[in-house]
């Protein structure tokens, strides 16, 4: 077992923000894993909330220029965060899920136009939730099955947001994870000193919705797997 030194955040609020993110991930999946990558005084935490089919990314600034790349239990990392001290104990590594090996690129991102304002995106999510509930209530009893509800959900959340090509499920994930909070919510969980507008970027087959609170990334094309005969 390799014992890693604790991560010390540049500001205690960074620890609190990361704890809030991990709490939401664990809410959706008690066995959730996250991949940690640190370098140059910055930490990136990648998670994959079930159902949304996206990667959620939370970043934080560190005091020290730590080099780290490890996959750990989200719950164990959450338990190791000391918010008042502004630090986190990195737990033992775990066997990473398949998604942890396919992360978005670090460079090559180009802005994508046509993204609505945050208020409009929140409205689109609210309208989609209302539509799902209405269509679910309209189902006759014999069709009110998990498969039928999943079909309706896929139809609604796969719709793209205007001309951007961004599936609505990515915006839903951003809101559910606290990256797109309701209007008027204090920015207590935002990175310290952040003043970043909501924006959309593309790099190859990847899209990334960036907000001051974190990012949602997803592939617009499936991962190509090649098989080499022996």
What distances in angstroms separate CA 63 from CA 77, 181, 192, one per listed residue? 18, 28, 13
**Quick one: pLDDT at residue 227?**
41
Half-sphere exposure of 14 (CA within 13 A, CB side): 24
**Quick one: pLDDT at residue 230?**
39
Angle at the Cα of 100 from the Cα atoms of 173 and 17, rounded to 5 degrees: 50
- Which domains does the chain show, CATH number per domain? 7-101 (3.10.150), 111-219 (no CATH)
Q: Where does the pLDDT of residue 5 fall: very low under 50, low under 70, confident under 90, or very high at 90 and above?
A: confident
Contact 201, 189 (CB under 8 A): no
Question: Which position has the token pair 């499920």?
Answer: 169
Chain centre distance of CA 92: 22
| Per-residue pLDDT reduced to its tens digit, 153-202 | 999 999 999 889 999 999 999 999 999 866 655 544 445 545 568 999 99
Helix axes 118-138, 146-157, angle to 10 degrees: 150
Q: Which of 99, 22, 82, 102 is nearest to 58 (CA)?
A: 22
Q: Is 94 exposed, middle or buried (0-12, 13-18, 19+ CB in 10 A)?
A: middle
Rounded to 5 degrees, φ, ψ at 115 are: -75, 130
Q: Give the rounded percent of residues in the chain with a pLDDT score beyond 70.
A: 87
Rounded to an integer, what distance in angstroms lies between the CA atom of residue 7 and that of residue 5?
Answer: 7
**Quick one: pLDDT at residue 2?**
55
Angle at the Cα of 213 from the Cα atoms of 119 and 48, rounded to 5 degrees: 105
Q: 81 in helix, strand or coil?
A: strand
* Number of helices (H), then strands (E), in the chain: 5, 11
């Amino acid at each position: 077992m390799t014992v890693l030194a604790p991560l010390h955040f540049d500001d205690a609020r960074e620890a609190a923000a990361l704890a809030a993110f991990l709490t939401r991930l664990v809410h959706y999946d008690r066995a959730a894993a996250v991949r940690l990558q640190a370098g140059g005084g910055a930490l990136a935490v990648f998670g994959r909330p079930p159902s949304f089919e996206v990667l959620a990314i939370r970043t934080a600034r560190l005091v020290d220029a730590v080099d780290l790349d490890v996959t750990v239990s989200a719950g164990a990392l959450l338990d190791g965060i000391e918010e008042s001290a502004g630090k986190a104990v990195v737990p033992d590594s775990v066997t990473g899920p398949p998604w942890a090996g396919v992360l978005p690129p670090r460079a090559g991102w180009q802005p994508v136009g046509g993204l609505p304002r945050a208020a409009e995106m929140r409205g689109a999510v609210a309208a989609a939730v209302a539509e799902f509930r209405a269509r679910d209530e309209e189902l006759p009893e014999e069709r009110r099955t998990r498969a039928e509800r999943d079909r309706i959900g896929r139809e609604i959340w796969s719709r793209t947001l205007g001309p951007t090509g961004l599936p609505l499920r990515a915006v839903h994930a951003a809101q559910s994870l606290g990256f797109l909070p309701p209007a008027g919510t204090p920015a207590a969980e935002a990175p310290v000193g952040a003043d970043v507008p909501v924006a959309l970027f593309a790099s190859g087959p990847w899209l990334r919705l960036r907000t001051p609170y974190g990012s949602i990334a997803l592939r617009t094309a499936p991962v190509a797997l090649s098989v080499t005969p022996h």
